[in-house]
Structure 1
Amino acid sequence: MPSPASVPLPESVGVFLDRGIRVIESGRVLIGGSPTRVIRLSAAGARAVGRWRKGDLPRGWAERVLARRLVAAGVAHPCVDPLTRPPGGVTVVIPVRDRQRELRRLLAALDATDPGTPVIVVDDASAAPEATGNISQRFGAEVVYRTERGGAAAARNTGLERCDTAFVAFIDSDCVPEPGWLDRTLAHLADPVVAAAAPRILALDSGDDGALARFEAARSPLDMGPDPASVGPGGPVSYVPSAALVVRREACPGGFDADMPVGEDVDLVWRLTDAGWAVRYEPTATVRHDHRLRLGALLARRFDYGTSAGPLAARHGDRVAPAVISPWSAAILGLMLAGRPAAAAALTVTAIGLLARRLSGIRSPVPEAARMVGLGTLGSARGMLFAMGRVWTPAVLAAVVLTAVRSPRAAALAGGALALPHVVEWRRCRPALDPARWTGVGLTADAAYAAGVWRGAIRERTLVPLLPRLSTALPRPHSDTTGGSPRSTPA
């Protein structure tokens, strides 16, 4: 499989810039992406991007190569046509165990949104498999019975083996798809370098208006947010859940790792990207999920998710690090915490100066460098705070208890550090929940997740899921985004 960045974007696919991209110098310079980079365009490239921003499609091979490079860098996103499905057909696979009511609801929804689409229901050794069969047959779905419970990953693999279509749409029995979910997601796989695409997963209206329902509606671990993204480790969307996922069958012949009861979706996505495939997240396609609204079930699931960090670390190394920070940001923040603001300021000025030298090709390198260093340091601080709450909670709580008597001030600061990320998040997303209950539920959920992370790390005998990872020291400028000669391409 060639690198996605080396294959021109299909002729029928448009592009639009990510909303976080800064366009300066009359369109000649783009700043953003993941990781952050500065992209200098030729005059022809700038004119092409200007036309795309007005809705035009890329023209010719060179522009489609440039468009592909920008999409691969996270600077732009493809604008696909949901009205045309790629050839080869699609089969829906549903893993299920003892969820007859949910299965009936899902099959009825599929019958309404995607009539005529083949459906395979895989019964993972339910207590009453005949009930699964009766419901499936009522809606014209094929049913496959497993005699031994293997979990959702094994059940999906069983369904995958029975498929003969080019594409397979996995959807869990506790989901309810909304109209257009499959067409909008499947449209991304018309691009030959895309191996998988996922819709946005939102909360199903259960009629419950309690604090847990409001919290899950705003901060479900299955909801990857409102923005489209290229999916992969280190990006703004590092994985997509397998609760609803469409895959190219030839790209994943082995399917999911059945030895992973949780985290199998993260593992699959990262294996696909390692193999050179692209994975897309499409938030305009939506699926509703029946979230866990009882505290015990919610915490148990968060704990389960956390335990996947150890096995993922064994398979993918420090990609599972709870925070990513540059050496510069780490040093600046460390000096500030040590009470040495003058040294932190001096180091900040040094970082700005070094980055400005790299950006010497643009008109105002120093202000842009200052902006990038400042935002990078703030982002690192925020990431470390969230890691403190979602991974280091046991250690922070132990510190609070141990210092409460000798140093109440230190204990209060540590407790405030745990609560601060939730307050910041509440201000950012303004959920339909007051800040006190939002913070209380968030702290409890994160403590359960953190306990799972520590459990998984101990089982795998690794510290990787507990330690931050150092990233590239400074953003790097790029002047040739197509990989070819600037004279023969728009970049």
Structure 2
Amino acid sequence: MGFTVRLNRRAKFAGRGRELIGGSPTRVLYLTERASRMILDRTAVVSDTPTGLLVDSLLESGMADPVLESLPELDTSSVTVVVPAFGRPLALARLLTSIGKKYKVIVVDDASPDPAAIRDITEQHGVHLVRLSSNSGPAQARNEGLKHVTTPYVAFADSDVVLNSDTIPFLLKHFNDPYVALAGPRVLGWDDGKGMNWIERYEEARSSLDLGTFPAIVRPRSPVSWLPGAFLLGRTDALGEGFTSASRVGEDVDLVWRLVEQGWRVRFEPEAKVWHEHRQSIRSWLSRKAFYGTSAHALSLRHPKAIAPAVFAPWSVVVVAVLLCQRSWSVPAAGAISAFAGWQISKRLGRSKHPGRIAASLTARGVLAAQTQTMALLVRHWWPLAIAASIFSRRLRRALAVACVLDAVWEYRRTRPRLDFFRFAAARRLDDLAYGTGVWSSALRGPSLRCLLPDIRKNPN
């Protein structure tokens, strides 16, 4: 009782408050008169069984997020922190200092080159040390630490992050929801006080680990589809044996998707924060981006329905193809196709008071999503093909140039980095080139192009 949720920015009322549009994926939720009265000022509170069912539906649909300030704090002694470590004793000492003395901590030394330095740090901080005989990667190291956890909750913290004093208590509140198995904070760039170079300033604004400023349910094909393993807080019983041990990259994505497939909820909470030491040189930064991309093929084998780089409805593919033709008839034809698609959608909204209006809104969202996904494919996942084809096609060359510029402008305005536009745009394109190289490398080694193929389905939502 008292569990409170608030509708998020994507949820919109229609039909005099009896229809709720939004969620992830987008849907229309039809409310009874009684249910509509349970939502006051976009907020719903669990007070009995009907309100509990409504709140559960809002959370599961991605239309609402928990109001953490209204939830009781859980006992922090119920959390054990597991830290995989390979070298970097100074970073480990910094992390352990930020964790403090409130939690049991297990450091797993993944066969560091200087084990004595790791041992000295753990002894200074009074934490438990587990040493592995051979280097197995962070997934296996976390799993070895997980074997020693006896508390209801476990946090995994990489040695190159720094915690705030309220990071764990804030995330822990999400576990008042018995269906939550895993939660993750916002991961920001660590500033050591010596100033940031242009790569670090780009990462500060557009890091692969920073998932934004809005709380969200986490699952495939949602605005937040994964959580970085830099820091995670989980329900010990739900995690089972933990991460896929053989994975050295993408193990965090795999864990999230497996939990979702098992029916658990996963939450992203940006009000909880950790700071990550980003790479400073161009070479190490690009190598890391390409390394992330190499997870694509392995993930496509374990989660073939979730790995697609883009999801289209058949009609939106036709709209994109028509616009890429760049003919005088392209815009009118795209408009006609979209209008027909909107009409088809409206026929499925017979319970709505204004099906045409809602269908028009959903169709517009679909067109915008198709265009943005196409741009992302051209500049990120498909860039080798796009560049090769643009040599022979003036229209594709124009489309690729427009995608490069529009993407950079949009991200620059959205993130407002402490960096001039030209260096930001250059970093943005290098980021995409490196990641796409990693994806292609994994696909060709597979060999399988499944991780590069979009998913075209009649009902992408």
Which TM-score band applies after superposition, normalised by the shorter structure? over 0.9
Partner residue of 2:24 out of 21, 28, 34: 34
Partner of 1:249: 236
Partner of 1:48: 38
TM-fit CA distance, 1:474: 7.1
Partner of 2:87: 98
TM-score, length of structure 2 as denominator length: 0.95
Moved more, 184-193 or 288-297: 184-193
TM-fit CA distance, 1:387: 2.1
Q: Is 2:459 the counterpart of 1:473? A: yes
Q: CA RMSD in A?
A: 1.8
What secondary structure does 1:319 align onto?
coil
Q: Distance in 2 between matches of 1:144 and 1:236?
A: 37
Q: Is 2:320 the counterpart of 1:328? A: no
**Higher RCO (C-alpha 8 Å, min separation 6):** 1
What secondary structure does 1:461 align onto?
coil
Partner of 1:374: 364
Q: Distance in 2 between matches of 1:233 and 1:190?
A: 23
**Kept in 1: contact 2:3–2:45 (CA 8 A):** yes
Q: Distance in 1 between matches of 2:158 and 2:48?
A: 41
Q: Distance in 1 between matches of 2:370 and 2:65?
A: 25
**Kept in 2: contact 1:244–1:287 (CA 8 A):** yes
Q: Percent identity?
A: 38
Deviation track 1:383-410 (CA, whole Å, cap 9, x = no partner) reads 111122121112222234x33xxx6675
Specify the code of the residue in structure 2 equivalent to 1:70.
L
Partner residue of 1:426 out of 402, 412, 436: 412
TM-fit CA distance, 1:344: 2.4
Q: Distance in 2 between matches of 1:88 and 1:209?
A: 36
Specify the code of the residue in structure 1 equivalent to 2:453.
L
Q: Is 2:301 the counterpart of 1:301? A: no
- C-alpha spacing 1:392/1:175, structure 2 compared with 1 (3 Å): same
Partner of 1:152: 138
Partner of 2:56: 68
Q: Distance in 1 between matches of 2:458 and 2:243?
A: 31
- C-alpha spacing 1:270/1:409, structure 2 compared with 1 (3 Å): closer
**Kept in 1: contact 2:157–2:229 (CA 8 A):** yes
Deviation track 1:296-317 (CA, whole Å, cap 9, x = no partner) reads 1110000000000000001110
The unaligned stretches of length 5 or more in structure 2 are none
**What is the aligned residue count?**
456
TM-fit CA distance, 1:472: 4.1
Q: How does 1:230-379 map to 2 (within 5 A)?
A: 230-338=217-325, 339=327, 340-341=329-330, 342-379=332-369
TM-fit CA distance, 1:87: 8.6
Deviation track 1:368-388 (CA, whole Å, cap 9, x = no partner) reads 211210121111110111122
TM-score, length of structure 1 as denominator length: 0.89
What secondary structure does 1:320 align onto?
coil
TM-fit CA distance, 1:412: 4.6
What secondary structure does 2:39 align onto?
helix
Deviation track 1:284-327 (CA, whole Å, cap 9, x = no partner) reads 10000001121111100000000000000011104111111111
**Kept in 2: contact 1:196–1:245 (CA 8 A):** yes
TM-fit CA distance, 1:333: 1.9
TM-fit CA distance, 1:227: 0.7
